[in-house]
Amino acid sequence: MAKSNGKTEELDMERELPPADGDENPTGTPGESASGGDSSNTELQKLKAERDTLLDRLARAQAEFENARRRASKEQQDFRDYAAADAIKSLLPVIDSFERALQVKSGAADFRSGVELIYKQLQDVLAKLGVRVIPARGEPFDPHVHEAIEMVETSDAADHEVLEELQRGYKLKDRLLRPAMVKVAKNP
């Protein structure tokens, strides 16, 4: 009989497991080990090995996550640093045209027509990039896209109609880049 927690238990010799390899009972008699001591020891070793494996996997997962976070952060920084590269590349031919126009020694009319061609080229590049001009003159005043610089009393135009555009406004797709600066009609 074995004693456990102050109670006497009888060991079932038919169901008791033999001792594990290397953990042999020093007396050599089968029933002298504490009730399940060897089996609980091997189970404890298995649990410790499983714990160590899980801790190792956790450490690797954390390291992978940290590396992925650093990589994503670097990619975002690179994107911010070079986001304008495509837009700048498309503007370079316009700069080249300006340089060629400035090198040519010709009359004022030829110079003006050359500058007009360059202006058209620049507008085409901006349109391809998604930049649109905000319509202003003759439109009703819209505080979301227009910035009123002056209110002009007049009966020649409808109330709150844009009379004059002082500086052109632009949108990039649906985002406002710069509001149009305008003079707005005010009926007396």
At 27-59, the pLDDT tens digits run 444 444 445 568 889 999 999 999 999 999 999
DSSP, collapsed to helix, strand or coil, labels residue 62 as helix
- Beta strands (DSSP E) in 116-168 are 131-134, 146-153, 162-167
Q: Which CATH superfamily is domain 132-188 in?
A: Head domain of nucleotide exchange factor GrpE (2.30.22.10)
* Whole-prediction pTM: 0.55
Q: What is the dihedral of CA 60, 64, 69, 74, to 10 degrees?
A: 130
Rounded-to-integer distance, Cα 102 and Cα 163, Å: 36
Where do the domains of the chain lie?
Answer: 20-82, 84-129, 132-188
